[in-house]
Amino acid sequence: HAAAERAAAESAAAEHAAAERAAAECAAAERAAAERAAAAERAAAERAAAERAAAERAAAERVAAEHAAAERAAAERAAAERAAAERAAAECAAAELAAAERAAAERAAAERAAVERAAAERAAAERAAAERAAAECAAAECAAAECAAAERAAAERAAVERAAAERAAAECAAA
């Protein structure tokens, strides 16, 4: 009986030890599974963080590229506006120069016309003076001719009167 109890006790102890071993192995397996799950979660979290960081980097690079493109476009626009302003200024200067040259040419033409007009007026005045002098000369010659004719007529009248007086004196002497 004692041997049977001992055997039963040993068998119970062996079963208990086996159960504890199984429980310990189960607990170890659960711990290992939990550690594996935690490691997988950590790896997933790290992967997600890396992907997020990569996405943020890509977004930052995209924003920087867009900013650089916008700055480039603004610089090109400013350069184009500057070039247009310079072109407009050059055209304005050319137009002013052309206007000044036109005004100078018109002034020169007006001065030339005035000089020609003055020369024509001077020539006309000289012609009129020459014609007046010629008319006065002709009038003086006419007056001289009339004077000489009158003197001649007076001399002839005096000669006739002298002859008549001599005749009368002769007749008187004869009588």
Name the residue ranges covered by the structural domains of the chain: 55-142
Q: Which residue has the tokens 């004719």?
A: 149
- The first and second tokens of residue 158, run together, are 């005096």
Does residue 175 have a pLDDT over 90?
no
For residues 13-29, give the mean pLDDT: 96
Residue 102: CA count within 13 A, CB half-sphere: 6
Does residue 95 have a pLDDT over 90?
yes
Residue 23: DSSP 8-state: H
CA–CA gap between residue 23 and residue 6 (Å, rounded): 25
Q: What is the pLDDT of residue 172?
A: 87
